[in-house]
């Protein structure tokens, strides 16, 4: 049995366009889709194993990146959007018809405040950069993956060129730790 990560990367990572500067996200509805304009390049694109991120059918991981929240604009069918969990740090706005998450701003005081999480596979335009790493890998167990499969999953992620982490990448963990240190006064 082959290890499935996500339909958009299972056959290998496709190179992105170095000039990719955003585009239009579209939910999975065939009529009146929710569309969201992203007027920025994406950053920190990764495969995410957490249980809160939206995953399409056949995916063990989601594919998630961030953009500045002020570069996100809903352009069609906003009435179909609802926040999945108002108490969550990431305010994931999902289509109430198809379930796809379109964007999730961070609005609380946090190192990621001002960023919105998006799912690059929903871009209608090609060229978004591929994922760079895998985060919250062990969390797929919480979603029902057999723990005995974890070695094979980590091996497949590495084969795809995605270093697996059980948290975020070292760069993002440094951002979080710096934010905490500044908030506590330990760092100026």
Given 27, 53, 95, 98, the catalytic residue: 53
What does DSSP say about strands 133-135 and 163-164: parallel, antiparallel, or unpaired? parallel
Catalytic residue among 27, 48, 95, 167: 48
Helix (H) or strand (E) segment spanning residue 66: strand 62-68
Annotated catalytic residue 167: no
Cα(134)–Cα(120) distance, integer angstroms:
15
The answer to whether 50 is a known catalytic residue is yes
State the catalytic residue, choosing from 50, 95, 98, 167.
50
Evaluate whether 41 touches 127 at the Cβ level (below 8 Å). no
Q: In the annotation, is 29 catalytic?
A: no
Taking the C-alpha atoms of residue 119 and residue 104, their distance in angstroms, rounded to an integer, is 10
How far, in Å, CA of 58 to CA of 14, rounded? Answer: 19
Residues 61 and 47 sit within 8 Å (Cβ to Cβ): yes
Residue 5 CA from chain centroid, whole number: 14
Catalytic residues: 48, 50, 53
């Amino acid at each position: 049995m082959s290890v499935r990560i996500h339909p958009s990367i299972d056959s290998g990572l496709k190179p992105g366009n170095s000039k990719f500067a955003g585009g239009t996200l579209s939910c999975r509805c065939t009529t009146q889709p929710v569309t969201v304009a992203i007027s920025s390049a994406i950053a920190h694109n990764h495969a995410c194993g957490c249980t809160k991120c939206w995953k399409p059918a056949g995916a063990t991981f989601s594919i998630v990146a961030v953009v500045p929240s002020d570069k996100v604009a809903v352009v069609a069918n906003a009435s179909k959007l609802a926040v999945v969990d108002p108490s969550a740090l990431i305010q994931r706005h999902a289509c109430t018809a198809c379930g796809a998450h379109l964007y999730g701003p961070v609005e609380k005081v946090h190192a990621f405040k001002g960023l919105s999480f998006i799912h690059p596979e929903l871009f209608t335009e090609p060229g978004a950069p591929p994922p760079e790493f895998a985060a919250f890998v062990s969390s797929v167990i919480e979603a029902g993956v057999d723990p005995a499969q974890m070695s094979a999953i980590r091996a497949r992620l590495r084969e795809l060129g995605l270093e697996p982490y059980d948290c975020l990448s070292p760069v993002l963990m440094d951002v979080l730790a710096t934010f905490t240190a500044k908030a506590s006064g330990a760092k100026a």
